[in-house]
Structure formats: structure tokens, C-alpha cells
A and B are shown apart, each in its own frame.
Chain A
Amino acid sequence: MTSVGTRPVRPAPRAGGTPRAGRGRALLARLDVKASPYAFVAPFFVVFLVFGGYPLVYTLWVSLHDWGLASGTRKWAGFGNYGYLFGDEQFWHALENTVGIFLLSTVPQMLLALLLANTLNRRMRAATVFRIGVVAPLITSMAAVAIVFGQLFDTDYGFVNWLLQSHIDWHTGRAWSWTAIAVMVDWRWTGYNALIFLASMQAIPKDLYEAAAIDGASRIRQFWQITVPLLRPTILFTLIISTIGGLQMFTEPVLFGSGTSNKMDGGATHQFQTLTMYMYDNAFGHDRYGYGAAIAWALFLLIIVFSLLNFLFVRRAGGTR
């Protein structure tokens, strides 16, 4: 902090001052050009270092120990935690769950959000009401969401089973629980992504559509050949944000698992335990803070890998522009 705290700058000397003052002024001007951009972006980096960089390094340090918060153990373990992690079936199981739920939720979510945005982009009555309406799920209290979805996906009395005329046990099966959680995630986040898409759609010049319409292109063709290609940078952005969010999926599966005595278990056979739940459970539930930190770092690296994959995928599909 203090390194940024330069002395207050004296008022610039009037023109025609001594040569010395002139030199000072030139120096100040140069400093202004060279340094002030950094000063302007500094707050972000300072905040990042305090709240992002420091925890990152500290977590790495913790992960190299046998560290227990409740028992007070603190022993150097080197890469012991990482060694265990590679052979830990439950970790890989949780990774499968996380990626599975992520794919099940993100793919339909992106498509739905695009269609929704496209619909909202047309001329319609009370457009603002609808536009605000799509983000309403985001501000709904999570406790209410948990209760409502718990009832929707109840095995015996649930609405979804009634609708499907089935008797699916949504909680015990792996695929069914993933599906139910994906529905919860999509319900919350589709509108948010739609709003981002909508903002970017409104920046597309109208004459492109007019020209296409004159050439006889249908609405659907316009959507796939004008809207989607021009939206590519936005799609990449939302994909990366969804990836980061999806791999850190926590709230929805925890709420979905409120029937288990330990909510972090993700069901009796860990059928919907995500990586962040496994991390939290180790660090704070089972007094293995060091191992929890190792999982956190593994997750961090995974997110980087997945984001790069996304980036490459979208670029391959036609550039980011």
C-alpha cells in the first residue's frame, strides 16, 4: 500500500520559471505519462494480491502439510497430500460428478440462453418486464429454492414424477441426481446468460438483418448465420465463466443433499458429491485442512486446463474476433 503513497504533488510551476522548475515539470509530465496508467490499474492488482494471490500461495503452503484445524496438528508432509490425491478414488469420483453435472447443465443452458435472448431481442410488448423477469431466479433466496426443488424432485409426492407419470428416485441414482441438479443450475443461471447475450445482440447492426431479409434469409437462417457468429466473443466469455462456476459447483448439490446427515457427502454413495464439497468436507468436516488445500489446488489447475480447452474449442470453431 505504502509504495503507492507518493508525496502530494506540488502545483505545476507557471510557465517561464527557472530551468530547474522546467526540468521538474518535464519529469512530472513523463511520470504522468508513464506511471499514472499503472496507478489507475493498481487498485485492482492490490485487491487481487490481497484477496486472490495471497490465499493462493497460502493454500499451496497449507497443502504441503498434515494440517488439522480442530486437532491443531501441523506437520510438514511435502507432496504427500498430492500423492494421496492421485490414488484417492473418491477424488476422481467427485471429479466425474462435477464434470458430468457441468456438461449436463451447461450445454442446454447455453442453447436455451441464446434462444431466450433472441426472443427477447424482438420487438414485443412490455420488453423490460420480460428482460428483468429472466434474472428473477438469480435473486430468489436459496433456502426457498432448496425447499421448492426438494418438493419438485420428491420420489413419492414430487411434481416431476407426477408429470412424467414415473417413480424415479431422484436422489439415489447417479444420473438422475445429476439431472435434477442440472435443472436447478439451469433454472438459476439461464436468464443471467441470456441477458449477457441480449446485450451483445443489441450491438449487432440492424442493417445486417435487413440485408439478409431482402436476400430472402429466414429468421432461423439469420440467427445461425448472423447472430451466432457475431456473438462468438460473448459466447466464449459466458462459456469460460460457466466453466469456472460449473467446476466450483457447490450450493445446488449441497441443497439437493439436505436429506443426508452430512450435507457434504453428496448422498450415501457420494453420487452427486462435487469437488468443492469434497474439499470442504475434508478441510472443515474431517479435520484434514492440508488435504482440503491440496484438492483446492488440483481444482485450480483443472479450471485453467478446462478454460484453455474451451478457448481452443471456440477459436477452432471460427475465431474469437
Chain B
Amino acid sequence: MRANRLRAVTVLAAAGVLAAACGGGGGGDSKSDKNFTLTVDVFGEFGYETLYKGFEQTHPGVTVKQRKVSSLDDYKPRLQQWIATGSGAGDVVALEEGILPLYMQQRAKFVNLFDFGARSMQGDFLPWKWQLGLSPDGSQLVGLGTDVGPLAMCYRKDLFKKAGLPTDRDEVGKLWPTWDQFFATGQRFQGKLSGTKWLDGPTAVLRATVLQDAGSGPGYSFFDKSNNLVFDSNPAVKQAFDTTLKFEQNKMTADMSIFTPPWQTALKRDTFATVPCPSWMLGGIKQFSGDFGKGKWDVATTPGGSGYWGGSWLSVPKQSRHQKEAAALAEYLTGAQSQVGAFKDKDTFPSNVKAEQDPAVSGATNDYFSGAPTGKIFGQLVSSVRPVFLGPKNEDVRQAVENVLIAVGQGKVKPEDAWPKAVEAAKKAAR
């Protein structure tokens, strides 16, 4: 008995040592391998699925794998952990405009795409899009532009007809050159159709108007260009906030946030009649409105002049084992041909000028949106886009302020308290 017990102790101890030894091993270097996999991390819809084959054909032995997370809010923390711990990230990662400034602070964790021949692509891109992916001193190219989000307005043609409003997209655009006129049209609409709200929620309008007002004004929104919080002193922010608040306090929005489950469900009902629409939003509406909304949606110009919202960059983290090939893949995916392909697939409007000029883009119409000439609509808008500086804490401030506006719609915050509350929330979020 006793000897048996001793033996058991020994076996246990030996097993422990063995386990420890095994833990240290593994993870051999695969640099020399000829066959390997490149991983691409994206969120939402980039429209790359059909493009990977083309890269695999020109790079024998390389397999491209995509990891897609549907919402940006779920993608952010994952990416953050990968970059911080130095492992787990894909060979190519997508950085959205809101999170790009954050990673610009840590650009040592990303490769310089200039080292892999990306300098020759400069002339292909919208100058401001190129500039935002570049380090301030111009020596490191962190990201190559994917899509941009020129802003339009999507509306439910069938509901407009019921409310006695014009349905033709040119006439509809003429209804609302300004946000005030858009508001007045909304009141007319809700007077006729009480069961449907005019807008989807405060979040989309706020994002659109902040970028519009900041673009036509100082060129920055919540943070100035030296990264100080100017939320309460920037007239552009106040103006956009007041525009949005007006819709909230008059109960003219369904109080939803884009891409959340209630928003997705609402697209299959007559919950709201309009959605501020950057080009990529078309893909989302099509996906969630599905058969219900086919032929019911159309695209008109947005109130308040030109604007944009969203768009991303592709970067290669330094932790990639195949930096050269990964950089080549990023260059391939942001090249003119690929951007045309992505647009055709998921309506992501190209930031690559050559792609914008391609007839497949400039002449494109969208069947789902009643045959709207989306290539022409967005193409006209994109040239007048004025980029806005976003600080590293921009997203945090935006979320906090959106919450205050939603609370107004819920009756939890009084409209007259909304601005002071938003200022307070912005300060806390910018900490």
C-alpha cells in the first residue's frame, strides 16, 4: 500500500514536470515555410470575400483566411488585446476612422508600408484619405485607405407616398436643402402617418451632422488638432447637437442605434422612414430590410450640404510573420481593381480615385434601391468631402454623448438639461 502511494506521488510529480516542459516548447518558426496562411481581420461588410482568390493565384502557396466580426464595437476590444499582447492579430487588420487615431499613437506596432513599395500608390488615392493613414512627420505609412462614406439620405418611397410627399429622388432632395427643412418635412410626414417615426434614431444624425458642421467649419470636432477636448467650446459641435436634439425632443426618431438588433428588426417594419446614408449603409439596409424592403427604399441627397461618415484603412501589425506578403495583400486589396470589386459586392465606396473613375463604379445603379444611380450620387459627393480631425478618444466621447440624446428620447433626461449633461459626459469620457 505504502509503496503504491509513494509511487503515485512520484508519478504525479513527474507528470507535473513533464507538463511544464511541454508548455515551454511548441510554436516553432514557420518563416521558412513556403506554404502559409495570411489572416485578414475585418468587421461588418468589406466585400473582400471574392477578392482573395485573385491574390492566391498570383502568390502560389499562400492561403488567405478572413475573420469577420459583425459589429465594430465587438471588434475593437479584440484588436486591442491582440495589439497590446503582441500576438493573435491577423496579418492584415482593418482600422476604422474612429480607431485609427488611437493606433496612430502606437504606430511602432505596425509596419511601415513605405518599406514594401506602397509609396507608388500615393497618386491613386484621395489626398486626404492618404494623409490620414500617414504619420504626422510623413515617414511612416500605417494604413492604406479602403472605402470612404460620402453621405446621402435613404428614404422609404412607399411611406412617403402614403404621407403625400413626393417620391422622386430629385424632388425629395429638393425638399430638404437644410436640416431645418428636413425637420419641417418630418413634421408634415408624422402629421399624416402617426405610426411611423421620421428618423431611425439620434446616433446616425449626430454622427452625420458633427462631421458636416466640423468639415465646413474648423476641421475638427470634439478634439482640436492638438488633442484638447473642445466639446463645449466648438460651435460646430453645439450646432450639430442642437440639430439632433430637436428631433429627439419632438419625438421624431425611433430612438435606435444603427446595426443593433432592434434597428435590424425595425427595418422589416414601418418603424421609421429615413436613415442618414453613407454609401456603406446601403449594404446594411439591404441586408436587414431584405425582401420586405426591396423596391421600397431610395436614395436622395442629404440635408446640410456634403458630408461623409466612416471608412477604413488596412494595416499590417509588426507581429505578422509574413510582413512582406501581408503588405502585398493590403496593397492588392486597396488597389483600384479590388475596390471596384468590393463596391460591386457591398456598396463600399472606393477611396481609390482610379476605382471611382471606373465605369463599373461611376455608372453603377442599385436595383435594391429602386435603381438609384449610386455611383453618380456618391461620386459627386466624394469630391467635396472635407476631412475632419478625430482625436484618439473621439469614439469614447461620441458614445457618451449619444447616450444623453437617447435618454432625452426615453424621457429620462429633460431637453434643457441635455447639453450640460452631454458636456459632463464628454469630459468624463475624454479622461
Q: Which residues of chain A have a CB within 8 Å of any CB of chain B?
A: 1-2, 4-6, 8-9, 11-12, 28-29, 32, 35-36, 39-40, 43, 46, 69-72, 90, 150, 169, 172, 258-263, 265, 268-271, 280, 284-289
Contacts and interface: CB of A to CB of B under 8 A. Distances in A.
A32 B6 contact: yes
B5 A172 contact: no
Nearest to B106: A72
B399 A70 contact: no
A32 B1 CA distance: 12
A35 B257 CA distance: 62
A262 B84 contact: no
A263 to B, nearest CB: 7
Interface string B395-431: 0100100111011001111000000000000001101
Contact of B410 (A150, A265, A268): A268
Contacts of B9: 6, 9, 35-36, 39-40
Nearest to B109: A72
A268 B407 contact: yes
Given A36-B9, A150-B261, A258-B260, A5 B77 contact: no
A25 to B, nearest CB: 10
A170 to B, nearest CB: 12
A270 B429 CA distance: 14
B106 A32 contact: no
Interface of B: 2-3, 5-7, 9-10, 12-14, 16-17, 19-20, 73, 76-77, 79-81, 83-84, 99, 102-103, 105-106, 109, 203, 256-262, 392-393, 396, 399, 402-404, 406-407, 410-413, 428-429, 431
A8 B10 contact: yes
Interface of B is mostly: helix
A13 B392 CA distance: 72
Contacts of B103: 70
Contacts of B6: 9, 28, 32, 36
Contact of A70 (B80, B260, B411): B80
B102 A6 contact: no
B341 to A, nearest CB: 30
Contact of B2 (A29, A72, A288): A29
Contacts of A70: 79-80, 83-84, 99, 102-103, 106
A319 B301 CA distance: 74
Given A71-B106, A268-B404, A269-B413, 13 more contacts: A5-B13, A46-B16, A70-B79, A71-B102, A72-B106, A150-B261, A169-B410, A258-B261, A269-B403, A271-B412, A284-B80, A284-B81, A287-B102
B5 A284 contact: no
A120 B22 CA distance: 47
B256 A259 contact: yes
Contacts, number: 125
Nearest to A8: B10
Contacts of B73: 261-263, 285
A284 to B, nearest CB: 4
B269 to A, nearest CB: 10
B31 to A, nearest CB: 26
B260 A260 contact: yes
A8 B73 CA distance: 54
A142 to B, nearest CB: 14
B14 A259 contact: no
A6 B9 CA distance: 9
A271 B105 CA distance: 34
Nearest to A257: B260
B3 A11 contact: yes
Contacts of A2: 17, 20
Contact of B16 (A4, A36, A259, A265): A4
Nearest to A169: B410
Nearest to A280: B77
A225 to B, nearest CB: 46
A35 B6 CA distance: 10
Q: Which of A2, A32, A72, A150 has the most chain B CB atoms inside 10 A of its CB?
A: A72
Nearest to B72: A261
28 contacts: A8-B10, A9-B6, A11-B3, A29-B2, A32-B5, A36-B6, A39-B9, A69-B80, A69-B83, A70-B99, A71-B105, A71-B392, A72-B109, A258-B260, A258-B261, A259-B257, A259-B260, A259-B262, A260-B403, A261-B259, A261-B402, A263-B73, A268-B407, A269-B412, A284-B81, A285-B76, A287-B396, A289-B84
Given A259-B261, A285-B76, A268 B106 contact: no
Contact of B260 (A5, A261, A268, A284): A261
A9 B257 contact: no
